[in-house]
A and B are shown apart, each in its own frame.
Chain A
């Protein structure tokens, strides 16, 4: 993978990567899709059949008003009803660390979808480590701005942790992207990447 700049999509560089990964005319499910911006973009630019799940009613309303089919539901439970392999891609963008049962969510993603795209903030980034080392408190950076008692991030993970879980689940990592700001990085991603994006499937 080459280092280089990533242009933002809808103000986010991980969306740009996801937009690059998703093949046209596929079926996509976005978990924790917020107001459906990414799905709307994928539907109009890649002709995908776009569906979403979101827990916040206010965000679901905005997504539906945009014309995206989103239903209000908790990700931890929301996938159970879907038949196997109903989607080409199941996207989980910056949400894995907020789920109660991340391993189960990952398994469910690969049950209902042929491939999973997981983007998450890397807790192993050097700034995080320095923050912890010098402050001695739960790290706070621009990526993890919350006080520990307010943070939605209940299952923080690093690039290495995700690779280990993928191996444990015998997943094939088809592609991996590491981002620092608007740059793709490859040297020591567990130290240098702020955000990682993985495309995985069952072996």
Chain B
């Protein structure tokens, strides 16, 4: 048991730093640092740079094109990227459908889909939730009926993140309406350009457009796009959700968030003194810092179990819960820190990256929208209530 980095780890960290410094375009890093929203091209430029280096799919096994890193190396990579204001890697290809394909897909599917994910040439999105199936995902009703070499898909998906930028979508669909809920579900890969697919934006509380409803109207999907066996989609879905929960804690991002918050507290004043010298605000910062540290060590413990061959167990639900609460708390304190200048609403600055001058300090305008938006973290990826049900049942045996 050792917390210290080895010389090799340190060399690795320097290598990652040098790579990020050389390959992360300045305009992108600036946007991330300022808390601005990124556009598709920003993500793609960065992910393709990582892809060329072979680092984009850094969690994949070597045989599928991953770099074969240790747990420590992954940890270092994620933290360096966050510290240096790299955009978060979009998980839909690399962390979600990619592992499903290399674990459950056919050789043809691996050959066909994995390279594009590794290189970030295609954008994936996720078709899980439906208007009537949120927390109760297994009740989904989107129907896929076999018709010769195709499935004909009808239904709608919602809370589809960034589907308006996507080339492909992976979907849970019902292929058998007579089987038990979980048993009639299959996992399909669908080209977003297929006729019959319509994407309709959902506008969020902060005025942003990041999620959509996706409608399927007699969409014909080749049978070759079925992953694994018909009716076993739920197994793959559970596998994917367990992977999702791990990264969803967003710890490196929260660490960066705490640092940003400290900078805001240094810039803001109260009665002529920096806010960071205000004892009650310091207490809140310290409390948050400690929460992040506790979460990080919990994740390190989970990773260390995985390093010796264990699978992520249901207890990772706890990481998702605390991770989301911490992300929310950071944004809440940012609103508190900026005071009145949380009030002006400047959508053009937020969404279009316009050059409009901010009304308050540059860091202030996105504080309230972020606070509103980040409420989603305790809802998506399985609401925190559902995560607690999972822990209660699977870990505590209640």
**Is B a genuine binding partner of A?**
no
Hey, which bits of chain B sit against chain A, CB under 8 A? none
